[in-house]
């Protein structure tokens, strides 16, 4: 199995920046697509960003494009999400996920059902 542990979530003000981290263990991190998803109260868990195994072809939700940057360091088994110009609507629990299959498609890299392993989540709160 794989264990994913997120960190970095805090209470911040609108316009501030945060960087989230996700450390993986128990599996070959560098062989898998990784992604960030978020879930606000009363809402479904939604796609935020994903990245291929060698750091290629990052994908973003329209709501965060231009403000968030996903990256990974395979030597450290760590995934990152740099969040700039934060807005109150970014408030959510942020989850790190590992794409289950070594094969992928344009659809699967944005679909939570394709990510078979999850961390416990880290809370990001943005005040107005």
- Mean pLDDT over 34-58 rounds to 96
**Predicted local distance difference test score (pLDDT) of residue 26:** 81
Q: Measured between alpha carbons, how far is 128 from 117 in angstroms, rounded to an integer?
A: 33
**Percentage of residues of the chain with pLDDT beyond 90:** 97
Structure tokens at 71: 């990256």
Q: Measured between alpha carbons, how far is 87 from 114 in angstroms, rounded to an integer?
A: 28
**Predicted local distance difference test score (pLDDT) of residue 71:** 98
Mind giving me the DSSP string for 80-104?
Answer: EEEE-S--GGG-EEEEEEEESSS--
Check pLDDT > 90 for residue 1.
no
């Amino acid at each position: 199995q794989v264990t994913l542990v997120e960190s970095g979530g805090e209470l911040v003000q609108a316009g501030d920046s945060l960087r989230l981290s996700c450390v993986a263990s128990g599996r070959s991190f560098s062989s898998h697509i990784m992604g960030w998803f978020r879930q606000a109260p009363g809402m479904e868990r939604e796609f935020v960003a994903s990245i291929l195994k060698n750091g290629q072809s990052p994908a973003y939700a329209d709501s965060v494009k231009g403000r968030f940057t996903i990256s990974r360091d395979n030597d450290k088994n760590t995934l990152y999400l740099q969040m700039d110009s934060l807005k109150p609507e970014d408030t959510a629990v942020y989850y790190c996920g590992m794409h289950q299959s070594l094969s992928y498609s344009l659809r699967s890299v944005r679909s939570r059902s394709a990510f078979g392993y999850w961390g416990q989540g880290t809370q990001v709160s943005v005040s107005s």
